[in-house]
Structure 1
Amino acid sequence: METEGTQGLRGTRSGHVPRQAVPPRPAAPPSAGPGGQAFVDWLRAPRTEAEPGIWAFGHRPRPPEEPDRIPGRQLISGALIAFLCGWLLWSLCWNGYLGSYWLWPLFLLTPDSWREAGGAQLAFVWATYLYYGLFALLLVVVFGRLGRWAEVWRRYGAGALRRVWDDTSAQPPAEPHTDPAAWPALREAGAPDIADRLAEEARAGRMTDVDQARIDRAWQSVRSRPERLAAFTETVRREGAAACAHPSGARDLTVRTARHDLLTRQVRIGTTAEDRRNPYAYRGTGFALGPGLLGTSLLAVGPAGAGKTGRVVRPVLESLCLQALAGQAAVVSVGAAGAPLAPDDAFDVVIRIGRPESEYDLDLYGGTTDPDEAAGVLAEALIGDLVVTDPVADTRRAATALAQLLGPYRAVHGRFPSVPELRELLDGGSAALGVLRSSLEGSAQAALLRELDARERQSGRAGDVAALLADRLALLDRPAFADFFDTAGKTRPFSLRALEHPLRVRIDLPERGHTDASRLLTRLVLAQFTECATGRADRSLFACLVLDDATQTVTAESLRGIQRLRSANAGAVLTLRTLEDVPEPLRTATLGAVGCRMAFAGVTTWDGARFAEVWGKEWVETRDVTNRQIIADEPLTRVVHTVRRLVTGRAVTAESVTVRTVERERWSASELAHAVPAGHAVLSLTTVRGDHAPPLLVDLRE
């Protein structure tokens, strides 16, 4: 059956899906995800539509905010004091310490004959008990109102009783047409036997959350193309929960380090702090990220050791890998070799640049056959970071110079040049250019000859960008990379054109001794990703690029590419130690190009000022309290004030409160630099639909 590229294809070029980089695991799902009854309970758990970033699994909205809400300690102490006062008054009355004065209403309302010898004394006894009851009820009402007992019951007693009732009461079994574990969509479509088969797989513990998400994804494709229904039902009937498997054969990750909910495609990364600066609806709720937020791209800034990799990048990458196994996403991760991102078996393709044992190679030209497109991407990677500082660097001129060489070379050799060959052409070597010219003169390629002539005229002139391109390309023309970036078909190059398939790709960069080359390669991958993600014919898969370190990667062109990802069902996750790693003219634009911004504990005040500027200001209510000394004129009042000053050590004052509404920064630069606790981060959110969330203080340790 058709599975939208989730089965059976080989290769690494556009339109082909490579197999897993390590031997596939057994078909039986591991115990990382929920299975059996736990899986059924996970399916049936409530998920509430909430504000952006709130962990929807089991979320219950908070009750409406009460601005005059009494603190819990004050409420309990007041209720206890009122109870003790009422009990004391009742004891004094009951034990006769107040005499019979409290009984005068009883004497007033009953006949004297009831209290005389031979009278209706039994009636008086009953009247007395009734009076005691009414008096006790009066005490309860009076002191209950004084102690706010109704508020105590509503806040603590009723909620606890309701939870106990929910836990002990038997829940009625869910109906098949409403039970998520019974696959009601399949039943409504006229396939009850398939729904029964999948429900049995779930109850027997042979289905996990990844299986459910993957089969549901395949079912959605069947609904859009009904001719696939027969093949889908046959596959599910034959393979059960293993149907429509990922090309790698994997049905889960061996290890999960975060909490995931594949029904909402969220990963929980922390808890929103109970802080006055956080909106009331967010306080104390779980915080999560998903494609709806990552589709606007995420920038995380914080010093080394702040938790960017372990508490944000790895959970997000893990979630995207799970979604790729479910046929919902494609992910590309770029980081230094040895970075704790995810194990090798979590990826289908692992490219270890600079290491001979690497099974895959990186396509230097992004899998394109268009010389102009290849030249534009390569120019951005080579000198995109120099445009701001070097007057010679111009990506448009660089792209033109490269296209003048790539076009003729491809026409002659049927492929693009390798790194040494391209470097020689950029250096203006007469031998290399002569071979190209002689080959073109023997064919009807007049236009390409003119391109070559123009390149020869410009070479050697002052300010020729080709010399700068050759110098930067020399970073890749090193012995460590001799076996990489091959264009002659000797290796297995991987192209980001394969993002139309649910791939999991990791690219390890050679950080030690090749820092500049690693940053050049990071810019190359970013440029290729934005070009390929926006150029996909099928954008049903969410594509995401995760850069564990984006130092000297952000350029003016890459920012424009990141902004285009939002409309292409794609996004990027970038981390920086400081905004100083971005050229000065681009720092504000960098924060403006992404929809989700994170400032970790430990950022500098200079970085904090940038975040404070982009987050803007809000109207807040301030209270100014003024104390003025009271000067008494009366002699008796003076004596009282003197005694009070001797006892308290302070003069008698009167308090004056002024309430004003002023505009203040949501988070100031000083607060971001000094008031964010360790293990926390402040982040703002924007969804692909345009919903916003103000800066939130989030505890990433919970």
Structure 2
Amino acid sequence: MDTDGTHDARTTNTGPTPRPSAPPPRPAAPPQPARAPRTGLDDWLRTPRRSDGPGVWAYGHVPRAAEEPEATPTRQLISGALIALLAGLLLWSLLWNGYLGAFWLWPLYMFTPDSWAGTHASVVASYVWYALVGGALLFGFGRLGRWPELGRRLLGDRAIRAARPALPARVEAGAADDPVRWPAVRAAGLGDVADRLEREVGDGRMNDVDYARIRRAWESVRVDPSRLRAFADAVRDKGAGACVHPSGARDLPARAARHDLLARQVLLGTVEDGARNPYARRGTALALDPDVLGTSMLAVGPSGSGKTARLVRPVVESLALQALAGQAAVVAVGAAGAQLGPDEAYDVVVRVGDPASVYDLDLYGGATDPDEAATLLAEAFVGDLPGVEVRRAATALAQLLGPFRAVHGRFPAVPELRELLDQVPEAFDGLRRSLEAGQPSMLRELDARCRQHGAHGDPGPALADRVALLDRPAFAGFFNVGAPDAAGQGRPFSLRALEHPIRVRVDLPERAHADASRMLARLLLAQFNAAAVARTDRSLFAFLAFDDASHTLTPETVRGVQRLRSAHAGVLLTLRTLDDVPEALRTPLLGAVGCRTAFSGVTTWDGKRFAEAWGTEWVETRDVTHRTVFADQPLTRAIHAFRKLVTGKAVTTDAVTVRQVERERWSASDLAHAVPPGYAVLSLTSVRGERAAPLLVRLAGTA
């Protein structure tokens, strides 16, 4: 049962899953390897996981109080501690010298026999009782004088923790719900299978990906009990290697971030322990998982702010690990050379414009309906052009794609589509003659396109110009899926493969063909929106990550992003600035995504948009007014004069006014100037509607 119940989709529409290839080696900066978990797998499994809000790193999390306790001035703590110490010493002196009587010695007399009088045992018992009474006084007056709080204030929590004895790192569970013992498998009557899995954990032959993958397979067995026997046989035969991913990989070649596959989280950074963040989240670790990524994320920051290394790469890596565990499908899109992980970490690597690319990109996204294919192409070709109606462009394309498919049984290749849009006589007349043989409905479509060609508002010329961007020598052999003369073309890949736990990277030729790359990025986003929603089996979390989404968004794709939340899918869009998005789409885009990130270095114009999206909150302000005190009595005036001579300040009284005011959570100026390098302000929303206020986060980067 290498794939039964874990990876196979319950649909029949896309054919076999693309298998990983072995492309020629490329020089690349190697990522820093980081294996996980860092402790033993059994300890990692037994560590409790708690979460009190979206984005909380659940591994070993200890919830904090909702509000910050009132801080006592250090001077007041010191004086209180000294007073408590003096009071305790005074009470001990009074007791020791008998000024308060001998009542405190009654327990000693009551519990020691008379035969002990004058013996060594009596002396020992007396000193033990003195120590108990002294310890009780020390504890009581210490609590009264708040000595522990003063110690934390002066020495710091870190020094106090270092002085405490270290707790054992391993906590053994013999409990019935011990995850190492696979209690659910045992409860189903598969004790021998559970024993095999437990031995795999104990002997170190199972890693975190194996555990997550086999647990996912077991969940599919619970849904479909007919797979129980195949699951048991696979585990008995292969142990930790059972139900393996179609690629055969059980881990990534290297990890650049810290992951918790049990909670499906990737550690992104640490919430700054400062006044700008809510007290309950200060100093806590922040992580991302499908629960928040399912609402989609927008990240804005200038070049060099860390969007790729500190956000895109960790998120893509996390989803790639989940794909190996049969839980997700991920597509990463970036310029050629972007550091999105080594080729070995992906099942499919599409290098558009590279003759050595093993895989080709299906221009039509695996669609078989001409109207659907035309809608996707129109969105990519002219969705960003003002004055060109996408609906009319889709109609024009459908008037050509339908007749061509009726004749040839496939969609046209790029050169053929360009000839049809330009109405080259040989191509157009040849298609007409083929339709006259018995395709009257399609002939009417072709005649309608012929009549509209060259009319006012005809989108044909704009479509032809955009198709010409792909009809270049650099792209020869690409996008021609099914064409008989496309010799040597790569294996086709379409986003219909999202029903499988697949890992895909698409490299776009951004430097040499910027316009074509942006058009292909729009096409991939439109195809992803359509494919993710059209899935019949949505058990896998589908995710699309753009390393640079500049000039990629259109009104329809923004609306499509909003629909992904209910389809168990999401996208990650990164921008250098919101100016790379049409002005009319900036506000809808910020409203369409549930997670928003502003990196260090954003402009005040971008900060204003984020400030508006995050809104305002009620805060308590304190206005302190200082008023000089004028004394009437001579002695008081003399004391005030002496105090002014010593301190250099006049005697004043403070009048404090407390009020509630409404302020922006983060102002445009703060976002532009108060976010340090390596930090970002990030807000999260879960698919269940839980929200995390904007948090100032120190990004972890590579592990």
Q: Do they fold alike, i.e. is TM over 0.5?
A: yes
SS at match of 2:670: helix
Deviation at 1:567, TM superposition (A): 0.7
Identity of aligned residues (%): 61
Residues 1:19 and 2:19 aligned together: yes
Q: State the alpha-carbon separation in 2 of the partners of residues 701 and 169 from structure 1.
A: 24
Aligned to 1:114: none
Aligned to 1:478: 472
For 1:162-181, list aligned pairs within 5 A.
167=167, 173-175=173-175, 177-181=176-180
Q: State the alpha-carbon separation in 2 of the partners of residues 225 and 511 from structure 1.
A: 46
Aligned to 1:516: 515
Q: State the alpha-carbon separation in 2 of the partners of residues 37 and 681 from structure 1.
A: 29
Closer/same/farther in 2, CA of residues 94 and 235 from structure 1, 3 Å limit: closer
Closer/same/farther in 2, CA of residues 516 and 75 from structure 1, 3 Å limit: farther
Q: Which amino acid aligns with 1:436?
A: L
Q: Alignment partner for residue 394 of structure 2, among 383, 387, 399?
A: 399
Closer/same/farther in 2, CA of residues 298 and 7 from structure 1, 3 Å limit: closer
> Does the 8 Å contact 1:86/1:140 carry over to 2?
no
Deviation at 1:6, TM superposition (A): 5.9
Deviation at 1:179, TM superposition (A): 1.3
Single out whichever of 329-338 and 647-656 deviates more from structure 2: 647-656
Closer/same/farther in 2, CA of residues 517 and 171 from structure 1, 3 Å limit: closer
Aligned to 1:451: 445
Aligned to 2:412: 417
Q: Which amino acid aligns with 1:676?
A: V
- Superposed CA offset, 1:577-622 (max 9, x none): 1111111111111111000000111111111110110101111111
Q: State the alpha-carbon separation in 2 of the partners of residues 261 and 130 from structure 1.
A: 51
Closer/same/farther in 2, CA of residues 552 and 630 from structure 1, 3 Å limit: same
Deviation at 1:240, TM superposition (A): 0.8
For 1:204-353, list aligned pairs within 5 A.
204-353=203-352
Q: Which amino acid aligns with 2:167?
A: D
> Does the 8 Å contact 1:510/1:518 carry over to 2?
yes
> Does the 8 Å contact 1:597/1:683 carry over to 2?
yes
> Does the 8 Å contact 2:616/2:663 carry over to 1?
yes
Closer/same/farther in 2, CA of residues 74 and 226 from structure 1, 3 Å limit: farther
> Does the 8 Å contact 2:2/2:243 carry over to 1?
no
> Does the 8 Å contact 2:81/2:142 carry over to 1?
no
Closer/same/farther in 2, CA of residues 205 and 352 from structure 1, 3 Å limit: same
Residues 1:56 and 2:55 aligned together: no
- Superposed CA offset, 1:628-649 (max 9, x none): 2223333333333333333322
Aligned to 2:110: none
Q: Which amino acid aligns with 2:504?
A: V
Q: State the alpha-carbon separation in 2 of the partners of residues 43 and 323 from structure 1.
A: 17
Deviation at 1:94, TM superposition (A): 12
Q: State the alpha-carbon separation in 1 of the partners of residues 670 and 191 from structure 2.
A: 58
SS at match of 2:281: coil
Q: Which amino acid aligns with 1:523?
A: R
Deviation at 1:428, TM superposition (A): 2.4
Deviation at 1:90, TM superposition (A): 8.7
Aligned to 2:578: 579
SS at match of 1:281: helix
Q: Alignment partner for residue 426 of structure 1, among 421, 424, 437?
A: 421
Q: Which amino acid aligns with 1:21?
A: S
Q: State the alpha-carbon separation in 2 of the partners of residues 136 and 186 from structure 1.
A: 57
Residues 1:148 and 2:146 aligned together: yes
Deviation at 1:173, TM superposition (A): 4.4
> Does the 8 Å contact 1:681/1:699 carry over to 2?
yes
> Does the 8 Å contact 1:4/1:501 carry over to 2?
no
> Does the 8 Å contact 1:36/1:203 carry over to 2?
no
Aligned to 1:112: none
Aligned to 2:361: 362
- CA-based RMSD: 3.5
Closer/same/farther in 2, CA of residues 457 and 40 from structure 1, 3 Å limit: same
Aligned length: 664
Q: State the alpha-carbon separation in 1 of the partners of residues 172 and 508 from structure 2.
A: 56
> Does the 8 Å contact 1:33/1:209 carry over to 2?
no
SS at match of 1:475: helix
Residues 1:442 and 2:437 aligned together: yes
SS at match of 2:262: coil
Q: State the alpha-carbon separation in 1 of the partners of residues 695 and 37 from structure 2.
A: 34
Closer/same/farther in 2, CA of residues 229 and 139 from structure 1, 3 Å limit: closer
Q: Is there any run of 5+ residues in structure 2 with no aligned partner, and where?
A: 25-32, 105-117
Closer/same/farther in 2, CA of residues 640 and 333 from structure 1, 3 Å limit: same
SS at match of 1:461: coil
> Does the 8 Å contact 2:332/2:544 carry over to 1?
yes
Deviation at 1:162, TM superposition (A): 13
Q: State the alpha-carbon separation in 1 of the partners of residues 338 and 241 from structure 2.
A: 32
